[in-house]
Structure 1
Amino acid sequence: MYFLEKFNKINEKSLEEIEKFLETSKEGLRVEEVKERLKRYGENIVLTFKIDILEIIKRNLFNFFNLLLLFAVFFSFFLESSKIESILIFFFFFLSVFISTLQDYKSSKLLEDLIKVFKNYAFVKRDGEWKKIEQKFLVPGDLVKVKIGNIVPADIILIKSEDLLIDESILTGESVPVFKNEKNKENFSNILFSGSSVIKGEGEGYVIFTGKESFAGSLTKKILEIKKETIYKKILDDFAKKIFYFALFLGSVLFIANIMKRGYISFQEFTVFIIVLIVAMVPEFLPAMTVLTLSLTAKKLSQKGLLIKRLSVIEDLGTIEIITTDKTGTVTTNKLKLKNIFSEDKESFIKFFLADFYFSKEQTPYEKAILEEIKNLPDYSDLEFIEDIPFDPLIRLEKLIVKNKKNGDLIEIIKGAPEEIIKKFFNENEKYLSEFMKEDENGFRTLALAIKIKDSYKYLGLASFDDPLKKESFEAFKIAKKMNVEIKILTGDSPKVARKVGLDLGIIDKNEKVIIGEEIRNLNEKELEDLVFKYHIFARLYPEDKLRIIKILKNKKPTLFLGEGINDLLALREADVSIVVDSAAEICKEEADIVMLEKDLKNIVDAVYEGRKALENIGKYIKHTMSDNFGNLISVSFLTLYLPYLPLKPLQVLLTNFLTDIPLVIFSSDNINDEDIAKPVNFDNKKLFILLLLLGFSAAIVNIFAYLYIRNAEPREVRTFIFLITTFTGLFVSFLIRNKNLFIKQKVNFFLFLNVFLALILTILFVKISFLAQIFDFKDISLKHLSFILILLIIFMLLTEISKIVFYKKFPESL
């Protein structure tokens, strides 16, 4: 294959030949060269997300229900002498496609806007200096460095590596990571392919191919949105199918019954009526309403700094019952204030403590706290950077190796958990431990510092820092409590520091203990399950500990996990919803469902709240479909068994279906009561059908009374009367099914009232304006008849409220 031949040709060359071919060197490219190459090769983008209008129209045009309606158009057009009905049915068909397409386009536009926010970076050498740039500006010939947690930004041929382990599963499907190094050319083991992930080690190499010319670019299109079907989507799809099958069965029964009865209605007219009835009974706008609701929620969350990578995650957020998070920066501010430095040589302590910042130019909150307390940065002209060894959560230490330029000695700077350093290198020195215990008891975060020269270790001291709670954390905890969402802290920090945070926030009381990692590692799954559901704070955890806890929690309750480092990767994959901060390792950001621009517990709790609100509002549309379409249209359809004419003409069925759908768009952003989201929405199909029967029964009784009242009138007047009562009840039920409370206790939604009012006016205008009445075959209704409709409307509202009370008393947690 062509793209493999390209790599083979590169692999045949020596390092000198590669540098000559790429016109580059170990000093990297010059900025002027980069500008010229960007013009020649283009930006390093594998695939840009483009909205395909034709594709959006196609998927909304050619769905089953629209095709069914289109069939009714042609059937009516060719078999009926009057073409006006066919034209109007086609208008309703066009309107349905237009609305669905518009909402689909809006959601695609939102996804496009969200994707633009996500940026990946690369560490590149330009003009002899290492710089961090957006990876889209990489060009062939760039010298790039990758390390643990990075996504490989382009196709790179290695010139230097150290213990480099790469995950290529996204490209090859192979789940086993592979070791790479510059010396082994077999199976392209000296080449890093764009899109693969660095699991371990680090490496340097030259960019050989970028963008669509890269290995990833030569494959099929990369999926921009993770395809993960939620349980709620499956339930909604199953519900819609069952409604359709029921409508199809009902239509078939009515069709056969009509043929068998005396004086049956004309075949053509009744066939069109049945097709239209089936289309009207099915919740055809459910996909559009779902997409609209999720899109509006995603936009709202993005304004809070939560970037959604797939719309369906909002449905998952609505199911969450447990939030697991670290405390640092989420519950606390992570704006550390230096409290004390315990050192016999503070000058040396500060110099070696800040050495990592000086050489890497990356600042941790600990280093920032010390920098704020000193006037000038120490002099590092006598030291030379050798190697940076990242923090290891298993030993809770990180190391920096530098060389003393004066005598050539290597200095190993060790920074980490005080108890680990004191225990491992200084034989549990009582003085050092005493200083640590004192600060730890006060709830301060602590870091110890030591150096190793040759084989000799020297303890430089300990620094303590205060990390105050965020004010927003208290509000977040209150909201979580209202929603019955548990918050559990999983941290690698000191148990006493974690306990202080838990007590101050109210997550635990003074009698609840903090569980440390050592206590859980020897427990079996049953013992650990008892522990993780009983306690709320877990400290000194390894990544494997977090993974075990997440697995156990999610088996019983939907669980959200906030991770950050590459060591959280397995837990991120395991959780029902995974969130990382924007500063997290690239591989973690790639894996997560949501990226947070600002680490804050309040935003996480708000996300769960908005998820539940979205599901509740989608549920309102479904309940409306049950009570309006199901109740009204079933009762009307059964009237065909008794009447020698259609109780509603096909156009009138479509019109009432259209008018009663007008207020439903407001449900996508409707307000909700706290009690409605006190627990996740219980979307049970069996319970839904029980509610369907109860609400449908209310509508059916009213429709039967309506017919009994008007039965002696001429067909046009009967149809007009039935049209008005079915439309009015379909509009007013929008108020009744908004939540489980009585109508008079609900929060007012001005826009819903306005939409219902406009729909009522439109309904009356269709009957009162003569040319519209003529088109839809209506007859003007007297004030007496309108008064009786009002009485029936009151009866309907009372019956519906009684049905709600009966249902929610039996099933309080149902939708």
Structure 2
Amino acid sequence: PSIQNLGAINILCTDKTGTLTQDRVVLEHHVDIIGNKSDEVLNYAYLNSYFQTGLKNLLDRAVLEHVDLNVDECRLVDELPFDFQRRRMSVIVEYEGDNVLICKGAVEEIYSCCSYYQIDEEIYPLIDMIRADLFEDVEKLNTEGFRVLGIAYREFPRQKTTFTVEDESQLILLGYIAFIDPPKESATKAIELLSKTGVEVKVLTGDNGLVTKKVCKDVGIPFTSSITGPELAALDKDEFSDKVRKCEVFVKLTPNQKEEIVKELRRQGNIVGYLGDGINDATALKAADVGISVDSAVDVAKEAADIVLLEKSLLVLEEGIMEGRRIFSNIIKYIRMGSSSNFGNMFSMLGASFLLPFLPMKPLQILANNLLYDISQTGIPMDNVDPELVAKPVRWDIDNIKRFMMCIGPISSIFDYATFALMWFFFNAKNYLNPALSLAERNAAASLFQTGWFVESLLTQTLIVHIIRTKRIPFFQSRASAPMILATLVVMGIGIWLPYSPIASILGLVPLPGIYWIWIVAFLLIYSIITHKVKCWFFKHFEGA
């Protein structure tokens, strides 16, 4: 059911990197804290990315692709892996005679564990006033769309070989590395198309607000209301629910917070899709109504997803959403058709069995009728769908289907009973009760009745799908697809041919008089008009269409 659910989503949560951006991260700057190009900053960043043993992310790969350094004289001593609470990671390597802890991570988190800063070869205390001035330079890079990481270090004696996160203190701030990941040209068009189709896009990212704001502005996502992960964590339950509903952008999130946001949106009655490809997206993918990943994603993300795209693009996703809505609309057509038809047939068969002295339709005729009807519906999956039916998110509404069945179903029963009356009185099926007739003549009267109802039932059931499939005037304002029309014509043709066919006797059918077809054409015309009028009333009354 994933493709159906995809058509029902009204909120799409997505990460930023690779979805709104090109997923082509490039290291643009490696500078000291006053903005001068620094090879030492690049060296330390390279050592950190090279020696970490965990999964290397896009930023690590960008560093390693930017330069190729000789690290033969260095050896990994220990490692403090990245986690989403610290938002930094450290490696400890033998470097120039010491065990050097090299820390790389989000600038705010790097600042929090630095007590000194370095310019050239001089080291100075990092006081609050200088810390604020330094952050202004970082903010300037962020507003230009650069993702900035801080690089810091601390030297330890070679005798110390075991390290903990407590050792990430009193570090020396060395400088920054800045990456650029340009927005996708297709993202703006995709966001516009999603908005037109009634899908609200919310950005859930671990990046900081300034970088995210720049990207959102470039692709046309409103940034009128945003909130950070730490701010969310400080809210009570009601405040959290209110912010989740109102905010379009969430930054500096942990994986657990992404999951909680998705769950809260679902609790509010939304159908939520989540698009992500990283380890930090796995829980949110699992929590969403539709988890969407890509073929290039990490294995855990693909396993958690319901749908895996071959291309990481919002345009592809928009196409998938529209296709999901088309599939869903055609499924609803079939369910409405089948439920209303069966509901009406139930009353017809019940009444006929009570009123008639013979079976209203033989078992073999019922099986043939159902088989032909099912064949006529094989064109529904390929049927055209009116634009207004896929213009907004659609979801299951069992009560609506039930009401539709109650409104449309009895109409078919009315015409079934009209056919009973026609066959009984006009075509003299009542002669079955005449004791003066032979058994063969009485059985012929019953067979004529059964044949008349067999043909009327098949034709009305097959034709009525063209009335139900659209809210518009059928055939004139909305036409079915070629396969649908072909299936209808073929089955109706078979139904008309069977009473005169070589296998008629096997099915217990007999030829129908010519005047019968005049009556049936009139019945079909009146039936179609009445059903269309009731259908229009139903949609206006219950769906406001």
Q: Which residue of 1 aligns with 2:247?
A: 535
The one-letter code sitting in structure 2 at the alignment partner of 1:804 is: K
Counterpart of 1:191? none
AA aligned opposite 1:793: L
Distance 2:284 2:57 in 1: 24
- How far 1:586 sits from its partner (Å)? 4.7
Match of 2:229 in 1: 517
> Is contact 1:313-1:577 (8 Å) kept?
yes
Q: Does 1:811 align with 2:542?
A: yes
- The 1-side partners of 2:531 and 2:294 are apart by 47
In structure 2, what is the equivalent of residue 49 of structure 1? none
Q: Where does residue 104 of structure 2 map in the other structure?
A: 415
Counterpart code for 1:448 = G
Question: 1:182-230: per-residue Cα shift (whole Å, max 9, x none)?
Answer: xxxxxxxxxxxxxxxxxxxxxxxxxxxxxxxxxxxxxxxxxxxxxxxxx
Letter of the structure 2 residue corresponding to residue 537 of structure 1: V
**Offset, 1:669:** 4.3
CA distance in 2, matches of 1:799, 1:506: 48
Q: Distance in 1 between matches of 2:312 and 2:328?
A: 25
Q: Give the TM-score normalised by the residue count of structure 2.
A: 0.82
- How many residues get paired? 496
Counterpart residue number, 2:151: 449
2:152 maps to amino acid: A
Instruction: Quote the Cα distance in structure 2 between the aligned partners of 1:742 and 1:413.
Output: 71
CA distance, structure 2, for counterparts of residue 665 and residue 386 of structure 1: 67
Q: Which moved more, 1:441-450 or 1:568-577?
A: 568-577
Secondary structure, aligned partner of 1:796: helix
Q: Does 2:181 align with 1:467? A: yes
Compute the displacement of 1:462 (Å): 1.9
> Equivalent residue for 2:361?
648
TM-score normalised by L of structure 1: 0.56
Q: Secondary structure at the match of 2:503?
A: helix
What residue identity is the alignment partner of 1:657? N
CA–CA separation in structure 2 for the residues paired with 1:587 and 1:466: 27
1:508 aligns with 2:508: no
Cα deviation digits, residues 635-676 of structure 1 (max 9, x gap): 244133333322322222221111111132332343423422
What is the match of residue 326 of structure 1?
Answer: 15
Quote the residue 2:43 is aligned against: 351
Within 5 A, what are the aligned runs for 1:228-627?
312-343=1-32, 344=36, 346-359=38-51, 364-369=57-62, 374=66, 377-404=68-95, 407=97, 409-425=98-114, 426=116, 427=126, 429-430=131-132, 432-454=134-156, 457-508=171-222, 512-556=224-268, 557-581=270-294, 586-627=299-340
Preserved CA contact (<8 Å) 2:19 2:312: yes
How far is the alpha carbon of 1:508 from its aligned partner? 0.9
Aligned partners of 1:667 and 1:473: how far apart in 2?
Answer: 33
The amino acid across from 2:532 in the alignment is: E
CA distance in 2, matches of 1:664, 1:389: 62
Distance 1:325 1:680 in 2: 18
Q: Deviations over 1:254-273 (max 9, x none)?
A: xxxxxxxxxxxxxxxxxxxx
**C-alpha distance 753-778 of structure 1, shift in aligned 2 (>3 A):** same
**Contact 1:679–1:813 (Cα < 8 Å) also in 2:** no
Residue 500 of structure 2, aligned match among 745, 762, 768: 768
* Contact 2:80 2:91 (8 Å CA) reproduced: yes
Q: CA–CA distance in 1 between the matches of 2:4 and 2:207?
A: 32
**Greater Cα offset, 552-561 or 542-551:** 542-551
| C-alpha displacement of 1:359 | 4.3
Structure 1 partner of 2:488: 756
TM-aligned CA distance change 1:592 to 1:682, over 3 Å: closer
Q: Deviations over 1:669-692 (max 9, x none)?
A: 434234223445454444323211
Identical aligned residues as a percent: 31
Query: 1:399 Cα shift?
Result: 1.7
Aligned-partner Cα distance in 2 for 1:730–1:518 = 60
Q: Which moved more, 1:472-481 or 1:328-337?
A: 472-481
Evaluate the alpha carbon distance shift between residue 564 and residue 389 of structure 1 in structure 2; reply closer, same or farther with a 3 A threshold.
farther
Aligned partner of residue 745 in structure 1, secondary structure? coil
| Alpha-carbon distance change, 805 to 463 in structure 1, aligned in 2, over 3 angstroms | same
When residues 522 and 603 of structure 1 are mapped into structure 2, their CA distance, relative to the original with a 3 A threshold, is: same
Tell me what 1:59 maps to: none
Structure 1 CA distance, aligned partners of 2:177 and 2:183?
Answer: 20
3-state DSSP class of the match of 1:354?
helix
Instruction: Give the structure, 1 or 2, with the largest relative contact order (CA under 8 Å, sep 6 or more).
Output: 2
Query: For the pair shown, which has the larger CA radius of gyration, 1 or 2?
Result: 2
Residue 561 of structure 1 aligns to a residue in which SS? strand
- Is the 1:517–1:541 contact (alpha carbons within 8 Å) kept by the matching residues of 2? yes
